[in-house]
C-alpha cells in the first residue's frame, strides 16, 4: 500500500529556516517547495497533498485569517 499522495504531486510549505526540509524536498519527485510567505490560494487548490511544518502552518494561519 502506498502513502497518500504517492501517485500525485505535492506542495511542501516551509519557512526560511527549514533548511533540512528544503534539502529533503529536492529528493522527492513531483514535489514543489514554497516559502510560507509566498503561498497563495492558487497554490493551495492546485495540489492534492500539502505538507507544512508547524512554523509554516502558523504563518499560513496568520496570512489567511487576517
Q: How many CB atoms lie within 10 A of CB 38?
A: 8
Question: How far from chain centre, in Å, is Cα 43?
Answer: 9
Distances from the Cα of 17 to the Cα of 11, 22, 34, angstroms: 17, 9, 12
Q: pLDDT tens digits, residue range 53-64?
A: 999 999 999 988
The model's confidence at residue 1, banded by pLDDT at 50, 70 and 90, is: low
Map residue 8 onto helix, strand or coil: coil
In this structure, are residues 45 and 8 in contact, taking their beta carbons and an 8 Å threshold?
no
What pLDDT is recorded for position 3?
63
Q: Which tens digits make up the pLDDT trace of 21-47?
A: 888 888 888 889 999 999 988 998 998
Q: What is the pTM of this model?
A: 0.79
In 3-state terms, what secondary structure has residue 18? coil
Residue 46 is inside which H or E element, if any?
helix 41-46
Amino acid at each position: 500500500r502506498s502513502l497518500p499522495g504517492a501517485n500525485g504531486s505535492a506542495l511542501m510549505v516551509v519557512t526560511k529556516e527549514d533548511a533540512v526540509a528544503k534539502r529533503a524536498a529536492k529528493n522527492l519527485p513531483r514535489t514543489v517547495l514554497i516559502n510560507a510567505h509566498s503561498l497563495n490560494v492558487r497554490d493551495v487548490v492546485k495540489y492534492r497533498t500539502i505538507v507544512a511544518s508547524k512554523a509554516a502552518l502558523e504563518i499560513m494561519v496568520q496570512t489567511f485569517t487576517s
